[in-house]
Amino acid sequence: MVQVAVEAPTHTGLGAPLDYLSDRSLPAGTLVRVPFGKREVTGVVWQGRRDDPAPAELKRITETLAALPPLGAAWCELVAFAAGYYQRGIGELALAVLPPELRKLDDRQIANRIAKLQKASAVAPSATADSPAAELPPPSAEQEAALARLAESEAAGDAPTVLLHGVTGSGKTEVYLRAAARALDAGKQVLVLVPEINLTPQLEARFAQRFAGRRIVAQHSGLTPAQRLRHWLAAHLGLADLVLGTRLAVFASMPRLGLIVVDEEHDPSYKQQEGARYSARDLAVYRGKLERATVLLGSATPSLETWQRANEGRYVRLGLAQRIGGGALPAVRLVDMNAMPKAKNAGGVLSPPLVAALQERIARGEQSLVFLNRRGYAPVLHCGECGWKSACPHCSAWRVFHKLDRSLRCHHCGFSERVPRACPECGNLDISPIGRGTERLEEQLADLLRSETAPPPRIARIDADSTRTKGSLESQLGAVHAGDVDVLVGTQMVTKGHDFRRVTLVAAVNPDASLFSSDFRAPERLFALLLQAGGRAGRDAAHAARSELWVQTWHPQHALYAALKRHDFEAFAASQLEERAGAGLPPYSSLALLRADARTPEAAREFLQAAAELAATLPGADAVMLYPPVPPPVARVADVERMQMLIESPSRAALQRFLAIWLPAIHGLRRDRAAASQRVLRWAVDVDPLAI
């Protein structure tokens, strides 16, 4: 009898591995095919053999995928931990993070794939051909010191978790590369995580150049199923030395793992937002401990959770305070919008001093980057006669006006229609856009920056709309790098990671909303976004002295902007941590969100209330605090009403213990056919939620 983890949906209550009959004992981590209900599914042997007498009705394993070396004990332990921590079934999580192709292939097909890979790597250039060290720039003094401390803490014995806090352009990537070189030389594999799929080609190129002759594979959702399997196998078989990927790659099977790098560790993209809502950053830290691998968390604006752990001495802190080449950080210019005249045509959206500064850049042949976190032309269309607005019929949100294809599109459910010629309510022909998105900003910039004497400025836009077709992002970024663009307009997509050499001005047009958000993490995210965006300016030391970050604000006195002006992350972090401590928020407490979806808000609320009443009867309830159910900011999406309830505890362990008892009880509640729970479409828990 062996235990097999299969993909059983959490709500079936079959989260734990199931018993099956097997003639032979199979090592844990072996992939097998087993009957499950009416189907045959792929599963992972979780416990090799148990000798207790098997009940007669047990089903038998149908096939063993023996060609595939079993998943390692550490991999299984990571999955078991993640499933427990994020409250999902073990098999559900295990199968979700393995390449989907594995489920389709039989043993012979897998053997074929493996043979092909091994043949390919036998003819690939040998690993001795690392590019000659002579071509490398010598590390800066700060990089050198950081690397020395890293080596020191590694030598001290236990695999350290290290925060590399380096200002933008300080050469963090060079530290990753050199740390990776050391791990590779020691015969280890290296895992590098990046927040965005867009950033993988760029980083892959940098690693490929440095480690010519080494096998590097990418793992992210943009790969074809066949590529994903091939890359996964290469890592699992130990043929690939370097794995580079987005959050999913934290589960890459790597038998010789020695180093995990998490670049921009503060980035919200590391948190999975559906299914098992895991944090790849947090799992990377756990995995490092498990496999005795060094974990290097890099950021110019670390998450407050990470910062706090470094303060407590649980992480080693390394700092890079200077830009490479001694370049200055961009000077921060706050434009007080209260003092600006309301320009007629642009509604005052671009202040005269900012327009003048942009014109100056164009005249000097330098580039500027203007960002606004809202795509489309305008967030709402409005009828001045009757007050009609372009609401989405399926969501509690406005449909966004996209001018290019003349559509009204809901960014929550995707519902799209052609823009009406006249107001659908009263027939008024004069319906007008309110507010602006990147599309309109691009148009307004073209207008404002036009001059009689010079050729028209070259303006480009990068956002989710302009980069929909494959390869368009690369070609647009290419144009910026080649100097074919004067002003780049975009959403926060353009603020991350890119090493633009000729940008000397970055402007945030309208960032104020986050100052007063109900989400306690909004200021942290805004500060990181602005500092990171500013980091795109002056990366070329020759231009650094006149690089500027412009912020248009109605609240120039705000403490966040004061800290930004001084590039003072430490002061900002200290004041945020003080607030969090006072309010009992993370990192001083642990949170979970219970979410429920239903056809009516009442049904969702009743379900959460029933869950709360149930909670009160359970052991450990006194260690957690349940808040009343509230709707999220956009309550209705695609005709489904959403409601959420916050659970808080000063102790992570107490919260974990409580969730482990409470959630199975909630499943029971649904099976009891209690009226309220029957009307809920689905519910889920989010442990350590990012947005509340």
Q: Where are the beta strands (DSSP E) in 491-615?
A: 503-508, 548-553, 590-598
Among 17, 89, 139, 689, binds ligand ADP (CB under 6 A): 139
Under rule CB under 6 A, residue 169 binds ligand ADP: yes
Which are the contacts of 649, defined by CB distance < 8 A and separation ≥ 6?
Answer: 589, 590, 623, 624, 625, 655, 658
Q: Does 327 bind ligand ADP (CB under 6 A)?
A: no
In the region spanning residues 418 to 477, those forming contacts with Zn ion, defined by CB under 5 A, are 423, 425-426, 428
> Quick one: which segment of 24-32, 135-143, 241-249, 510-518 binds ligand ADP (CB under 6 A)?
135-143
Counting contacts by CB under 5 A, is residue 357 touching Zn ion?
Answer: no
Determine, following the binding rule CB under 6 A, whether residue 499 of this chain makes contact with ligand ADP: yes
Q: Which span (133-141, 299-307, 367-375, 406-414) binds Zn ion, by CB under 5 A?
A: 406-414
- Interaction between residue 324 and ligand ADP (CB under 6 A): yes
- Residue 461 as a binder of ligand ADP (CB under 6 A): the answer is no
Which residue stretch of 74-82, 287-295, 388-396, 670-678 sits at the interface with Zn ion (rule: CB under 5 A)? 388-396
Judged by CB under 6 A, does residue 196 bind ligand ADP?
A: no
DSSP string across 290-333 = HHT-EEEEEESS--HHHHHHHHTTSSEEEEE-S-GGGPPPPEEE
How many residues of this chain bind ligand ADP (CB under 6 A)? 14
425 contact choice in Zn ion, ligand ADP, none (CB below 5 to 8 Å, kind-dependent):
Zn ion
Question: How many residues appear in the chain?
Answer: 692
- The single residue among 33, 88, 113, 172 that binds ligand ADP, judged by CB under 6 A, is 172
* The pair of three-digit structure tokens given for residue 170, joined into one six-digit string: 């300080």
The yes or no reply on residue 413 touching Zn ion (CB under 5 A) is: yes
Tokens of 622: 């006194």
Residue 25: CA count within 13 A, CB half-sphere: 6
Q: Which does 166 bind (CB under 5 to 8 A by kind): ligand ADP, Zn ion, none?
A: ligand ADP
Among 132, 137, 341, 471, binds ligand ADP (CB under 6 A): 137
Phi-psi domain of 269 (left: phi exceeds 0; alpha: psi -120 through 50; beta: other): alpha
Binding region for ligand ADP (CB under 6 A) out of 134-142, 326-334, 488-496, 651-659? 134-142
- Laid out side by side, the sheet with 63-64 consists of 18-20, 2-6, 39-47, 31-36, 63-64
Using the contact rule CB under 5 A, the part of the chain among 258-266, 385-393, 489-497, 568-576 near Zn ion is 385-393
| Torsion of Cα atoms, 391 then 393 then 397 then 399, to 10° | -50
Residue 143 or 161 having the CB closest to ligand ADP: 143
Torsion sign, CA atoms 245, 251, 254, 259: positive
Residue 140 binds: one of ligand ADP, Zn ion, none (C-beta under 5 to 8 A by kind): ligand ADP
Structure tokens at 57: 């009705």
Binding of Zn ion by 400 (CB under 5 A)? no
Tell me the site size for Zn ion, rule CB under 5 A: 15
- Measured CA to CA, the distance from residue 162 to residue 310 in angstroms comes to 8
Tell me the C-alpha distance between 157 and 151, whole Å: 10
| Cβ at position 535, least distance to ligand ADP in Å | 6
Stretch in the footprint of ligand ADP (CB under 6 A) among 163-171, 346-354, 374-382, 637-645: 163-171
Shorter beta-carbon distance to ligand ADP: residue 183 or 354: 183
- Ramachandran angles phi, psi of 623, nearest 5°: -90, -5
Q: Which is nearer to ligand ADP, 374 or 498 (CB)?
A: 498
* Least distance from Zn ion to the Cβ atom of residue 603, Å: 20
Q: For the CB of residue 177, give the shortest distance to ligand ADP in the complex, in Å.
A: 8
Instruction: Residue 221: count other Cβ atoms within 10 Å of its Cβ.
Output: 10
Told to check if 523 binds ligand ADP by CB under 6 A, we report no
> Residue 168's binding partner, choosing from Zn ion, ligand ADP, none, with beta-carbon cut-off 5 to 8 A by kind?
ligand ADP
Q: Is 416 in the site for Zn ion (CB under 5 A)?
A: no
Tell me whether residue 100 or residue 483 sits nearer to ligand ADP (CB atom). 483
Contact 54, 12 (CB under 8 A): no
Q: Which residue pairs, CB below 8 angstroms and at least 24 apart, start in 35-38? A: 35/59, 35/60, 35/62, 36/6, 36/8
Q: Which listed option, Zn ion, ligand ADP, none, makes contact with residue 412 (CB within 5 to 8 Å by class)?
A: Zn ion
- Do 677 and 610 form a contact (C-beta atoms < 8 A)? yes
Q: Which of 3, 30, 42, 140 binds ligand ADP (CB under 6 A)?
A: 140
- CA-to-CA distance for 6 and 107, rounded, in angstroms? 18
Of the pair 147, 674, the CB lying nearest ligand ADP is at 147
SS3 content of the chain, % helix, strand, coil (to 5): 40, 20, 40
Nearer to Zn ion, 600 or 651 (CB): 600
Q: How far is the CB of 176 from ligand ADP (least distance, A)?
A: 8
Closest CA to 212 of 124, 296, 117: 124
Q: Choose from ligand ADP, Zn ion, none: what does 385 bind? Cβ within 5-8 Å by kind.
A: Zn ion
Cβ proximity to Zn ion, 394 vs 501, nearer residue: 394
Does 143 sit near ligand ADP (CB under 6 A)? Answer: yes
Q: Which of 10, 22, 170, 200 binds ligand ADP (CB under 6 A)?
A: 170
Cis peptide preceding 587, ω within 30 of 0 = yes
381 binds Zn ion (CB under 5 A): no
Angle formed by the axes of helices 73-85 and 280-291, nearest 10°: 140
- Per residue, what are the HEC states of 57-113? CCCECCEECCCCCCCCHHHHHHHHHHHHHCCCCHHHHHHHHCCHHHHCCCHHHHHHH
User: Which of 89, 160, 166, 586 is the binder for ligand ADP (CB under 6 A)?
Assistant: 166
Cα–Cα distance measured from residue 446 to residue 358, given in angstroms and rounded to the nearest whole number: 11
Paired strand residues for 526: none
Stretch that binds Zn ion, among 34-42, 262-270, 381-389, 500-508 (CB under 5 A): 381-389
State the residues that interact with Zn ion by CB under 5 A.
Answer: 383, 385-386, 388, 392, 394-395, 410, 412-413, 415, 423, 425-426, 428
State the residues that interact with ligand ADP by CB under 6 A.
Answer: 137, 139-140, 143, 166, 168-174, 324, 499
